[in-house]
Amino acid sequence: MENESTKRVMESLNFQGPDRIPMFDSFWDEFTEKWRKEKSAGKEADICDFYGIDLVFPVPDETFFPTAKAVIGQEGSYLICRDGWGRTVKMRENASFSQTIDTVLRNRNDLDNLSFDPPDLDIRYESFVKTVEKEKKKRCVFSCVGGPFARSSFIRGEADFLIDLAGDIGFAGELVDMVTEHLIAVGLESLRRGNLHDTGIWISDDMGFNDAPMFSPKIFEKIFLPPYKKIVSSFKKAGAKKVILHCDGNVNSLLDMLIEAGIDGINPVEPKAGMDILKLREKYNNKLFYIGGVDNAAVLPSGDKEKIKSHILPIIEAGKNGGIIIGTHSVSPDISVETYDYYYSVVQKYGHYKKG
């Protein structure tokens, strides 16, 4: 049976007008710890339940080499690990971020000898399926895989891959095609194992700086548009209702091509990166929906209640006929729990829509 959040989210994504504006946010561990302390919440308390988050996207193990993950050494308090992308990384135990020391594809000539672990390995989906089954009881659930730019840069190294795009477009295209086939296979398998066709799948592909994409629109058109068309088409032919792109930064110059590729919606629509959710809604109407739009870089960290209210009320109003799920890029410890509580209270007070 469809839960209220799933109904609400899909109504919004179909531009049908939900009962209230859906909410989506992800919370940094540091913020969650502050929240637990201030709310006297136990370790089992779910912050997404507390704030009524309507949407989640569990991620299967989409890495290229999940069977090769290992700790291979230690330097003081740092672990030296081989991760599932084939990278050698340096990190503290249980840390969220790591430093890349080496990648598996340093030499372009090694591409022909590269092969990935099979996309249908059970170990990729065991945790994913458990999370999907749990979350389906209360939220709208999508699957998620990476995109061809970000995942190609993982295996090659971001700086080297950007150089490839500028200087060896033939090699870059071959690598992207290989990565694309892997991502499609994992995405299709995750849709099947999670039974998520009635919602769909996210593609996570950070390819923007705050002022522009990380490469020219011409590069996107030549190298990435055909793979995007293939990825989206494959997911939709399999029955995925919606395909959503998560991409940080300013990708205004790529949006027409992303719509051409079949992308239905974008996230996080960052104000700090010049992504104005209200202007985009006016420009593209129902061609694209938006998940995000709230400024987590200046407005929310300021704690200024009037500024917060005046910022989010127009977004709530724009979402009354669907097409918008309100949220930030993420909730960091730069935002106080009191401030997020206020933001949440405004959404709850003004975000309910009268139907009929």
Condensed to tens digits (0 to 9), the pLDDT of residues 183-195 reads 999 999 999 999 9
Average pLDDT over residues 329-333: 96
Q: Are residues 77 and 207 in the same domain?
A: no
Q: Are residues 313 and 270 in the same domain?
A: yes
Q: Are residues 165 and 247 in the same domain?
A: yes
Residue 166 in any domain: the answer is: yes
Residue 151 in any domain: the answer is: yes
Six-digit token pair at 54? 């309507």
User: What CATH code is carried by the domain that includes residue 49?
Assistant: 3.20.20.210
At 64-115, the pLDDT tens digits run: 999 999 999 999 999 999 999 999 999 998 787 899 999 999 999 999 999 9
Q: Are residues 195 and 246 in the same domain?
A: yes
The total number of structural domains in the chain stands at 2
pLDDT of the residue at 141: 98
Residue 355 in any domain: the answer is: no
At 208-245, the pLDDT tens digits run: 999 999 999 999 999 999 999 999 999 999 999 999 99
At 273-322, the pLDDT tens digits run: 999 999 999 999 999 999 999 999 999 999 999 999 999 999 999 999 99
CA distance 112 to 102: 19
Q: Are residues 208 and 76 in the same domain?
A: no
At residue 204, does pLDDT exceed 70? yes
Q: Are residues 89 and 109 in the same domain?
A: no
Q: Are residues 203 and 139 in the same domain?
A: yes
Look up the domain containing 321 and give its range: 4-64+105-350
Six-digit token pair at 37? 């302390």
Residue 228 in any domain: the answer is: yes
Q: Where are the beta strands (DSSP E) in 108-172?
A: 140-141, 143-146
At residue 355, does pLDDT exceed 70? no
pLDDT of the residue at 95: 80
Q: What is the mean pLDDT of the chain?
A: 97
Q: Are residues 31 and 111 in the same domain?
A: yes
Residue 134 in any domain: the answer is: yes
At 114-169, the pLDDT tens digits run: 999 999 999 999 999 999 999 999 999 999 999 999 999 999 999 999 999 999 99
Six-digit token pair at 335? 């935002």
Measured CA angle at 208 (ends 96, 317), to 5 deg = 95
pLDDT of the residue at 97: 85
Three-class secondary structure of residue 96 per DSSP: coil
Q: Are residues 95 and 199 in the same domain?
A: no
Which distant-in-sequence residues (6+ apart) come within 8 Å of 148 by Cβ? Answer: 176, 179, 180, 183, 205, 224, 227, 228, 231
Q: Are residues 112 and 94 in the same domain?
A: no
Residue 356 in any domain: the answer is: no
pLDDT of the residue at 173: 98
At residue 356, does pLDDT exceed 60? no
Q: Are residues 290 and 161 in the same domain?
A: yes
At residue 2, does pLDDT exceed 90? no
Q: Do residues 306 and 297 lie in contact, with contact meaning Cβ atoms separated by under 8 Å?
A: no
Cβ burial of 44 (10 Å; 0-12, 13-18, 19+) is exposed
Q: Are residues 213 and 300 in the same domain?
A: yes
pLDDT of the residue at 321: 95
Average pLDDT over residues 30-53: 97
CA distance 67 to 20: 44
Residue ending a domain, choose from 103, 125, 160: 103
Question: Over pLDDT 70: what percentage of the chain?
Answer: 99
